[in-house]
Structure 1
Amino acid sequence: MFALTLRAPFAPSKPSGFDIGPASRVLVASVGAVMSLLCLIAIGRALAGLTPELPHLRNVAIAIHVVAVLPAIPLGAYVLLARKGDARHKQLGKIWLALMLLTAFSAIFITSGGGYGPIHVFIPLTIFSAWRSVATARRGNIPAHKRQLVFTYVTGLVFPGLAAFLLPGRLMNVMLFG
């Protein structure tokens, strides 16, 4: 006998769930919340005129970089923390990876004193990790896909974000601390 089952369009083929593990959830939620809050404070200070002049923003590459990375921080956290497998997860994941790639490619054109610094090591890591994230998902290797996306979040946003806020003279440091 044949059984006929109807499925709603874009419905996940497997049950979705919160599946990055408790330690990763705590890391992503904590870092995403703190970095998003720091960004909001820094932007608020800049908009209120509480920062010195920001010549960084005259550089088109830096402006593109900032415009791409600011929504990538909370969106990446949301995609990693929310239910997986449905159409919304896939669409938001694609948007997040596009923002991450725009962030990485714009960083190629950001140099201090004409050369690349240690922070630029995150550019190829982010690009490679984004590619691996898509490749593992397409192959159906979801455990590897999850690992790659957490790796992308940490190496593409967390470590460079810490540098952006903590190193004197960097745009986010100037906006946050004056």
Structure 2
Amino acid sequence: MLMLHLSLSLLALAAILVILLLPKGMGAHRWLGRLAAAALMLSALSSFGIQARGHLSWLHILSVVTLVNIPFAIWAVRHGRVATHKRAMLINAGGLFVAGLFASLAPGRYLYGVLLG
């Protein structure tokens, strides 16, 4: 489950980084946005299969926020609320970045051991 979660998170991160560089509203932005949104949703869902000592951690709050915020961002852009969509998606991207930093830099976490251990 951890490798699935990591793979989906890295896919979402790569798509988001490209999206930030592309002109907004174009075909590539929309296609990559759908890819990023799907990867974020699946990554959030897969996080619930990763538990420390049999319990969810505070990072799972980000998963719940993502599972609510992605559909909201999609609703917003479909209803012409582009600024709201942008803000919601940037919140998701920030959450992914914070979770990635925590997973990579916190001693005792799997990625910390792989990257810095």
Q: Do these two structures clear the TM 0.5 threshold for a shared fold by scoring above it? A: yes
1:175 counterpart = 2:94 = no
Q: Does 1:117 align with 2:57?
A: yes
Deviations 1:64-121 (A, max 9, x none): 1011111211211211231111111111100000110111000011100001111111
Could you say which structure has the larger radius of gyration?
1
Q: Which has the higher contact order (CA 8 A, sep 6+)?
A: 1
Equivalent in the alignment of 2:97 = 158
Root-mean-square deviation over aligned CA pairs = 1.0
User: When the two structures are superposed, what TM-score results if normalisation uses the length of structure 1?
Assistant: 0.63
Code of the aligned partner of 1:173: Y
AA paired with 2:53?
G
Aligned to 2:35: 95
Secondary structure of residue in 2 paired with 1:136: helix
1:111-156 deviation per Cα after TM superposition (whole angstroms, max 9, x unaligned): 000011111111111111111110101101101111011011012x
Question: Of Structure 1 and Structure 2, which has the larger fraction of its residues in helix?
Answer: 2
Amino acid at match of 2:13: I
Note the C-alpha offset of 1:167: 1.1
Task: Give the total of aligned pairs.
Answer: 117
Q: Does 1:136 align with 2:69?
A: no
- TM-score by length of structure 2 reads 0.94
Gap runs ≥5 in structure 1: 1-60
The counterpart of 2:8, out of the listed 43, 68, 79, is: 68
State the one-letter code of the partner of 1:107.
S
Q: Which of 102, 115, 127 does residue 67 from structure 2 map onto?
A: 127
Contact (CA 8 Å) 1:107, 1:120: kept in 2 or not?
yes
